[in-house]
Amino acid sequence: MDDFETRGAPLEYWFFKFNHERLAFLVDFIIRRHQHQAEVRLSLWVRGTGRVEHAFSSSWRTNRTTVAIAGCELGPQASRGAVADIEWHLDHAAGSARIDPAPWPLKLLRPLDMQLLSRPQARFQGSVRVGEERFAVSNATGLFCHYWGARLP
């Protein structure tokens, strides 16, 4: 099973983040299946000024490799989307480092509410537009994370 493959859990998050020059960029793809709600949440800082934007939807699409919510998409090698006046077109590589805190036997028992997989050495390239300002992203180091389960701990 791929680290970022959907698990079909009641709550499922995928997110990535990176800092590059004057931009700190974080995108969450969130599915709350019991509430029939999905969300793309952007958190960013541009030269020290932060903001958060949301796009909510009662429908979403997932398959083995991709999650799509409100016209935004995260796949195994790229993410694209637009929320409010923010648009991104990013290619990425997950990197070889992998964090999986639960040992295999413990995963089978599922004693915790959430499970987590993380790729802390991801690389990003492409562009992010905030309003009229465009940021070229080249070889930015960041993080991918996928967590899922019954509810947040």
The residue extents of the domains of the chain are 11-149
pLDDT (0 to 100) of residue 78: 97
CB-based contact 17:143 (threshold 8 Å): yes
The mean pLDDT value of the chain amounts to: 90
Backbone angles phi, psi at 106, to 5 degrees: -65, -35
- As a whole number, mean pLDDT of residues 1-18 equals 87
* Per-residue pLDDT tens over the stretch 127-150: 999 999 999 999 999 999 998 887
**CA dist 8 → 5, 115, 118 (Å):** 9, 12, 18
Token pair, residue 17, equals 């983040």
Count of all residues that appear for the chain in the document: 153
Pick the closest to residue 143 from 4, 2, 47 (CA basis): 4
- As a whole number, mean pLDDT of residues 112-123 equals 85
CB-based contact 26:17 (threshold 8 Å): yes
Fold of the domain built from segment(s) 11-149? AttH-like fold (2.40.370)
Number of helices followed by number of strands (H, E) in the chain: 1, 11
